[in-house]
Amino acid sequence: MYRYDEFDHAFVNERVAEFRDQVGRRLTGELSEEEFRPLRLRNGLYLQLHAYMLRIAVPYGQLSPRQMRQLAMIGRKWDRGYGHFTTRQNIQFNWIKLVDVPDVLAALAEVEMHCIQTSGNCVRNVTSDPYAAAANDELEDPRVWCEILRQWSTLHPEFNWLPRKFKIAVSGAAEDRAATAFHDIGLRIVRGPNGENGFRVLVGGGMGRTPYVGQVIREFLPKEHLLSYVESILRVYNLLGRRDNLYKARIKILVNTLGIEKFREAVEDDWNATVKVGIDLPDGEVRRIASYFAPPDLPERAPRDEALAARRESDPGFATWYRNNVLPHRVPGYVSAVISLKEPGRTPGDASSDTMDLVADLAERFGHDEIRVNYTQNLVLPHVALADIPALYDALAEAGLAVGNNELLGDMICCPGLDYCNLANARSIPIAKEIAKKFEDPARQDEIGKIRVNMSGCINACGHHHAGNIGILGVDKKGTELYQITLGGSPKDDAAVGTIIGPGFRAEKVPEAIDTIVETYVENRNEGESFLETWRRVGAAPFKEALYGAR
């Protein structure tokens, strides 16, 4: 992973000292909340319903064991003993005291972490495939380009005050595991006409109150021009994006107002006029950054392990976990293992300090010192020897973490909702827990098969409800929490925005409604058909009939 150099260390420590001074002036009353607000947001500090919330950047979702232990310490010392992993591959602490924030930032700086640009109208944390450098369908490691974009965008003088926040995702595999089509810019590494790798560039995707799937602005961009082309996109957005209306300020609105052809023309004109020397990195610098992402040295292993195979035969719980949470690796004899943070009764994405310490230990014992955070709010050990899987499972089981529901119904995405967030207008965590309880039987989840259920507590869609096969949106209707259900969304290569199926449900009726939808799917599906395939074949009618009858 990338390691800070002297400049990085000095820069982050200077920011800590600067913010310590700003916090001090706020605490003495020298700065009003109105004056302090833009300063704290630039350092990832939000004022939520009950307390300050600190959002910490986890670049492209990668953590070392040392960093994970420091997060555990922060949770234990300055929060309430846990943190919350988000759909941006970040982590949030929800009970931080303002007086402690400078010390928290100093502790983060010790392990090469910070909160810069995790809020505000700037380029946010660049996200990526959590199986980068491990997946067997990968064309090229996307983390190198994520890091290049991170360094380029950090405090970029031209793009530090954009019309609105700006999100970029990069994927280098055949399967899109980074939801690139729902980002302001989505980058897919693809093979070009002459056999070289480059980028398929999407623009204008996003969720929120006006969801759009990103559109292709360039089918193939040579890799060496990534920064200059992204810079042209941002320059056009910065010039033409609306600043008079918060709800119309994202680039997706501009792209869909102009139309992709006119937006592309504006970007291409700017790019063609751009002097690219000084923006695009020379090959040597790309190679220097790429050297930080050299794959771990994985000793040769047998592609099959007899003890593991026997355990799968004799232990149904292990077999279920293995089937759902263990993914193939590009190197024979190795796999990637998902550590689910979705045990029934648990708040999706929450990890206690004890859990973080344990995951750090397991990464050192079995995972070649690497941990990943995925946007579905779980943790991943990307490089585990197949023979070590039973021992890893046993350690997880002892801690109550051997939940084998990866990509099944219990693997819900859920935002903090009205329990924490001052933007939310409905609860999401309690509803998600009730749904998880209704479907807690692993055998039933297996029978249903892979399905993505996402839930948001407001229209800002931090829980990605638009992209859920089943999406749940909490709304406030004249003082009553109602939950609107959408069907048919997808975050993957067949990206789609879900369709509202009908009137909303009261909170206590939501689990039953989800059960009805699932049963309708099971009754109507053909053999081997996914939820999306069934939905697209039969349409909304049977689901509406089952949910609302003659109503």
Q: What is the pLDDT of residues 16-39, one digit of tens each?
A: 999 999 999 999 999 999 999 999
Give me the pLDDT at residue 1, please. 86
- Strands of 206-275, DSSP E: 215-222
pLDDT more than 70, % of the chain: 100
pLDDT digits (tens, 9 = 90+) for 102-119: 999 999 999 999 999 999
Span 45-70, average pLDDT:
96
Q: Does pLDDT of 121 surpass 60?
A: yes
Q: What is the chain's length? A: 551
Residue written as token pair 């500090």: 45
Which amino acid is present at 317? G
Helix, strand, coil percentages, rounded to 5, for the chain: 40, 20, 40
User: 3-state secondary structure string, 75-122?
Assistant: HHHHCCCEEEECCCCCEEEEEECHHHHHHHHHHHHHCCCCCCCCCCCC
Confidence of residue 326 (pLDDT cuts 50, 70, 90): very high
Question: Does residue 267 or residue 479 have the better pLDDT?
Answer: 267
Span 131-140, average pLDDT:
97
Distance CA 90, CA 145 (A): 18
Global pTM? 0.95
pLDDT digits (tens, 9 = 90+) for 146-188: 999 999 999 999 999 999 999 999 999 999 999 999 999 999 9
394-403, 418-427, 504-513, 540-549: least confident range: 418-427
Span 5-15, average pLDDT:
95
Confidence of residue 550 (pLDDT cuts 50, 70, 90): low
Domains of the chain: 6-110 (3.90.480.20), 142-289 (3.30.413.10), 306-399 (3.90.480.20), 413-548 (3.30.413.10)
Question: Does residue 384 or residue 2 have the better pLDDT?
Answer: 384
Q: Does pLDDT of 427 surpass 80?
A: yes
Span 54-81, average pLDDT:
98
Give me the pLDDT at residue 479, please. 86
Task: Give every CB contact of residue 349 below 8 A, 6+ residues apart in sequence.
Answer: 84, 85, 86, 341, 377, 413, 414
Query: Is the separation of the CB atoms in 88 and 29 below 8 Å?
Result: no
Give me the pLDDT at residue 551, please. 58
Q: Does pLDDT of 316 surpass 60?
A: yes
pLDDT digits (tens, 9 = 90+) for 183-225: 999 999 999 999 999 999 999 999 999 999 999 999 999 999 9
Average model confidence (pLDDT) for the chain? 96
Give me the pLDDT at residue 422, please. 84
Tokens representing 52 are: 């300050």
Distance CA 87, CA 452 (A): 14
Query: Is the separation of the CB atoms in 349 and 83 below 8 Å?
Result: no
Confidence of residue 423 (pLDDT cuts 50, 70, 90): confident
Distance CA 37, CA 50 (A): 16
- Strands of 386-501, DSSP E: 413-414, 453-456, 470-477, 480-487, 499-500
pLDDT digits (tens, 9 = 90+) for 456-477: 999 999 999 999 999 999 998 8
CB atoms within 10 A of CB 442: 19
Three-class secondary structure of residue 219 per DSSP: strand
Give me the pLDDT at residue 424, please. 87
Crossing angle between the packed helical segments 353-366 and 65-78, to the nearest 10 degrees: 170
